[in-house]
Amino acid sequence: ASLLFRPIFLISLILLGVMISLLAGAYPAFVLSNSGLAGILKSGVRISSAGGSLRKSLIVFQFVVSVFLAIATIVVLKQVSFIQHKEMGYDREQVVVLPVDGKTRSIYYPLKKALELNSGVQSVSGAYDAPAFVQWSDGLTADNGTGSKEISIKAMPVDLDFIKTTGMQLVAGRDFMVSDFTLQDTADDYKNYRNTYILNEKAAKEFGWTPEQAIGKTVRKGAAGQVIAVVKDFHFESLHNPIGPMALYLDTSMVRQLFIKVKGNNIASVLAGLEKTWKERVAWRPFDYHFLDDDFNALYKTEQRTASLFALFSGLAIALACLGLFALAAFTTVQRTKEIGIRKILGANAANITLLISKQFISLVLTGILIASPIAWWAGNKWLQDFAYRIQIGWWIFFAAGSLAIIIALITVSYHAIKASLANPVKSLRTE
């Protein structure tokens, strides 16, 4: 990720904002402390315009930080939302995942059948990895008509009904069948199987085949086997990586996880039934289940944490900027007390006075927006480059963040502006 999106940088930025806020707020106090007490009692507070550029620069910088963080927060939240709602190519909802160890694997087939008998269970299957994150790397060789070609793939040993249980979509060919096991009459053993493969679209394309052309082709991963189907591409890694070639093949001796597709009605009751079956069949292991959603979400913990940090820091930065703006508005209103009184005597109404005081602060905020926007655009795109699948940063993000900053600034300044506009002009003229 970009340096600008790392927590250590954000914390440093916030600390710098705090220091600047303290400096901005302390400036009037230092000016007042240097004024003679007798002079104050006699003539009131006289504050020169010296240091105005410094005060304005501090406010601009605070809003640069605030707007940058607001834009960054929206970008991160939109990317996280994009990840959560993107079609993955498999069904990750209402799929219960249970671990399978060596001892459990010895009773895998009867356990699978017993779990299928529970009401509310649609199908049960197993695999070496969860489809959300496949780690097994391998090589696959085939004759593509112009010679032998080998490609690097992700390999996934699976059981029957894996396609059905995970909701994947076949674009050509058929699913695995019991006949793909060599010993059909003793299929309960699930030990002997023919080398049949289901490729994803990317693997077929790597060999130069269409999905239909891939059916019946011979491929080799160790021993030779036949391609029986092509499955629609699915995301078997995080969205940081593009979809690569993948091959599914039957091998229940490698199953490490059970996948149970359950119906949406009364999940608690279904889980209770599964737990009962599990305790009867697998007494040596607790019913330590999770949902396939959890495997998916685990891939994006960093992004979710980043979104939370940005939301927090953005709120803090805006609050600090508003404190500085509030102090500067009070400071400026005191300076312009006589001017406001004269304008009211000459016919200016409350709206005119409020606009007079507010517009100079809005110009500072607009300056902050103009400076922060290109920086945030660059940093946001830099961070998004880590994702193979990502959102586009639209103009509305800058508009939303800028509008938020302006609205908050107006609310902050309006207190002093309205108070000054409603003050008695006679009292205002007596301030000196």
What is the radius of gyration, based on Cα positions, of the chain? 33
The residues, ordered by sequence, that sit 6+ positions from 283 with a Cβ below 8 Å of its Cβ are none
Helix or strand run (H / E) with residue 120: none
Residue 205 CA to residue 201 CA, distance in Å, equals 6
In 3D, which of 90, 222, 247, 225 has the Cα closest to residue 155? 247
Reduced to 3 states (helix: H, G, I; strand: E, B; else coil), residue 77 is helix
The residues, ordered by sequence, that sit 6+ positions from 382 with a Cβ below 8 Å of its Cβ are 2, 4, 5
Cβ proximity of 103 and 184 under 8 Å:
no
pLDDT, position 48: 47
Beta strands in 50-120 (DSSP E): 95-99
**Which amino acid, 126?**
G
Instruction: Kindly write down the DSSP assignment for every residue of 23-35, as one continuous string.
Output: HHHHHHHHHHHTS
In 3D, which of 166, 103, 94 has the Cα closest to residue 129? 166
The one-digit pLDDT tens for each residue of the chain (432 residues) are: 444 555 565 566 566 656 655 655 555 555 445 544 444 444 444 444 445 677 778 888 888 988 998 899 899 999 999 999 999 999 988 999 999 998 999 899 999 999 999 989 999 999 999 999 999 999 999 987 778 899 999 999 999 999 999 999 999 999 999 888 754 444 444 455 568 999 999 999 999 999 999 999 999 887 788 999 999 999 999 999 999 999 999 988 889 999 999 987 788 999 999 999 999 999 999 999 999 999 998 889 888 888 888 888 888 888 877 777 777 777 777 666 666 667 767 776 767 777 777 777 888 889 999 999 999 999 999 999 999 999 999 999 999 999 988 888 888 777 777 776 666 665 555 555
Residue 290 CA to residue 87 CA, distance in Å, equals 21
Both tokens of 357, joined, read 């005081």
Angle, to 10 degrees, between the axis of helix 301-335 and the axis of helix 395-422?
Answer: 30
Classify residue 71 by burial, with Cβ atoms within 10 Å: 0-12, 13-18, 19+: buried
Cβ proximity of 246 and 156 under 8 Å:
yes
Instruction: Kindly write down the DSSP assignment for every residue of 369-405, as one continuous string.
Output: HHHHHHHHHHHHHHHHTT-SS-----HHHHHHHHHHH
Both tokens of 20, joined, read 């600047």
Residue 63 CA to residue 287 CA, distance in Å, equals 52
Cβ proximity of 301 and 2 under 8 Å:
no
Cβ proximity of 164 and 158 under 8 Å:
no
